[in-house]
Amino acid sequence: MRNIKLVIQYDGTNYSGWQIQPNRRTIQGSLEDALLKITKIQTRVIGAGRTDAKVHALAQVANFKTESAIPAEKFVSALNSVLPPDIRVIEASEEDENFHARFSARGKIYRYYVYSGKYLNVFWRNYVYYYPYPLDLDLMLEAAKFLEGTHDFRGLAAANSSTKNFIRTLKSVELKKEGEKLSLQFIGNGFLYNMVRITVGTLLEIGRKKIKPTVIKEIIETGNRSLAGPTVPAHGLFLVKVLYDDLL
Amino acid sequence: MRNIKLVIQYDGTNYSGWQIQPNRRTIQGSLEDALLKITKIQTRVIGAGRTDAKVHALAQVANFKTESAIPAEKFVSALNSVLPPDIRVIEASEEDENFHARFSARGKIYRYYVYSGKYLNVFWRNYVYYYPYPLDLDLMLEAAKFLEGTHDFRGLAAANSSTKNFIRTLKSVELKKEGEKLSLQFIGNGFLYNMVRITVGTLLEIGRKKIKPTVIKEIIETGNRSLAGPTVPAHGLFLVKVLYDDLL
């Protein structure tokens, strides 16, 4: 069996997330439907990250096994010709049999957008979290430093019965302000359920001076989720890249 | 009666255009519904330009007469609190009784986006026309020069029974290429029905070398619509600004 890797971009607005579910529009389901149309065979597509409803991807990675004779790079135009316009395959390549989109991944880059202007630009409404409050960026940067490194992040994650190991490494947390748009970018070897959205929610409360930057340190040390901020909405979140080389 | 001017931004994707129509979602209808909620009185909203279905606006202008005591600038937050998120009021001010969004306008700026990359970025799908063909920009620039000035543009417009005067002045036609995205911007004292979309369609055929740049000159001289290119799709078009000072 050939093993095909896809790099996929999607606007998550009108989807119930990556993972296939009956009677729901999902990214995985749409890709499998498209593959069925092209190869005439039902094929499982494995994604690197199971993004939630309304979360977007600039470059999600997936793979599938096939006996189709279609040249790897032809899957780009073939799949795009049958996919809805809010999902695009941007690269396709043939990998060796051991490549697995999820298990082979060494890390991921996520980015979250926050906007604080007088009104929310209509063209950004599905892609940024509108949070019209003054934010002290220095306090947020101070807090972000406590996140970097290898820690037990259970206090910054939502409950997920299947997870037993809460140790993750965040290589960097970068905050960038362009006008009234703020981006928070996280590079890590893995992310717990809702970890980016809870961490952003906590950093925003720090920026608003509701809680102190050292609360991040306390959450990491105690694992106490009740000290953290709220989970910010999914639509501000982007899976930017999946990394297959060593992170550190 | 007070006369309130609004500057409005909208994503036209999910609307049947500006002009109110029964059983259709329109920008004008949505604004009138919002005003009714706030002032409790049905009020006519006059727009500077009646944009078509799927056409967007960065800064459409409208005005309405009211006896409401709401301070002009408060209409921004009040209307935005009841408008759908794909329509935003970005400015509101009180004008003298003679101000009329359409009749007082001296000109408009329209911009059209064309994209020619390998695949269409999902986040642009409702805002650019995907036209994946090589374009000779020099030929298009040569043709654009014939457009500038005061001409009879009937050959570059769709039939519209109410229009009798086809003379318009285009102050400038600007083409800008950023990577594989091309923008075509038109500043003029007025635009005939579908004039921008037919002109862009003609410039694209010139860029692809299907017809010569001088065809523009010929269309203007003869008024022969059959020489012009096709009408490009509405979703690539933006009303950028309405001008109330003298254009030239």
Per-residue model confidence as pLDDT tens digits over A203-214: 999 999 999 999
Report the CATH number that the domain containing residue A56 is assigned in CATH.
Answer: 3.30.70.580
As beta bridge partners, residue A46 has: A63
Q: How many domains does chain A have?
A: 2
Of B86, B118, B125, the CB nearest to A122: B86
Phi/psi at A36 (5° precision): -60, -40
Residue A165 lies in a domain: yes
Residues A27 and A148 reside in one and the same domain: no
Distance CA A191, CA A239 (A): 11
Reply yes or no on whether the pLDDT at A129 is more than 90: yes
Q: Identify whether the C-beta of residue A136 lies closer than 8 Å to the C-beta of residue A209.
A: yes
Residues A80 and A120 reside in one and the same domain: no
DSSP at B133:
S
Q: What pLDDT, on a 0 to 100 scale, did the predictor assign at position B248?
A: 58
Distance CA A248, CA A188 (A): 9
Residues A46 and A135 reside in one and the same domain: no
Residues A148 and A182 reside in one and the same domain: yes
CA B129-B132-B136 angle, to 5 degrees, is 100
ipTM exceeding cut-off 0.85 for this assembly? yes
What is the token pair recorded at A233?
A: 């909405």
Distance from CA of B13 to the nearest CA of A (A): 10
Residue A18 lies in a domain: yes
Report the CATH number that the domain containing residue B150 is assigned in CATH.
Answer: 3.30.70.660
Q: What pLDDT, on a 0 to 100 scale, did the predictor assign at position B160?
A: 75
Distance CA A63, CA A70 (A): 15
Residue B102 lies in a domain: no
**Res. B159 pLDDT band, cuts 50 70 90:** confident
Residue A154 lies in a domain: yes
Residues A85 and A120 reside in one and the same domain: no
Distance CA B248, CA B245 (A): 9
CA B29-B33-B35 angle, to 5 degrees, is 115
Residues A86 and A111 reside in one and the same domain: no
Contacts of A119 in chain B (CB under 8 A): 76, 80, 88-90
Contacts of A89 in chain B (CB under 8 A): 119
B63, B95, B127 - which closes a domain:
B95
Contacts of A132 in chain B (CB under 8 A): none
Instruction: Give the range among A6-10, B141-145, B242-246 with minimum mean pLDDT.
Output: B242-246
Residue A112 lies in a domain: yes
Residues B89 and B115 reside in one and the same domain: no
Is the Cβ of A80 closer than 8 Å to some Cβ of chain B?
A: yes
Residue B100 lies in a domain: no
Of B87, B88, B123, the CB nearest to A11: B123
B28, B63, B95 - which closes a domain:
B95
Residues A70 and A149 reside in one and the same domain: no
Distance from CA of A118 to the nearest CA of B (A): 8
Closest CA to B122 of A85, A239, A91: A85
Q: What pLDDT, on a 0 to 100 scale, did the predictor assign at position A79?
A: 98
Q: What pLDDT, on a 0 to 100 scale, did the predictor assign at position A159?
A: 82
Its domain, for residue B25, covers 2-95
Residue at B172: amino acid letter: S
B65, B95, B125 - which closes a domain:
B95
Q: Give the model confidence (pLDDT) of A140-194 as tens digits.
A: 999 999 999 999 999 999 987 678 899 999 999 999 999 999 999 999 999 999 9
Q: What pLDDT, on a 0 to 100 scale, did the predictor assign at position B162?
A: 79
Average pLDDT of span A79-88: 97
A52 is annotated as an active-site residue: yes
Residue A101 lies in a domain: no
Residues A224 and A111 reside in one and the same domain: yes
Residue at A153: amino acid letter: F
Residues A140 and A232 reside in one and the same domain: yes
Residues A37 and A124 reside in one and the same domain: no
Residues B133 and B228 reside in one and the same domain: yes
**Res. B113 pLDDT band, cuts 50 70 90:** very high
DSSP at A46:
E
Taking every pair of C-alpha atoms in chain B, what is the biggest distance, in angstroms? Answer: 59
Write the Ramachandran bin of A83: left for phi over 0, alpha for psi from -120 to 50, otherwise beta: beta
Q: Identify whether the C-beta of residue A173 lies closer than 8 Å to the C-beta of residue A186.
A: yes
Average pLDDT of span A42-55: 97
Residue B228 lies in a domain: yes
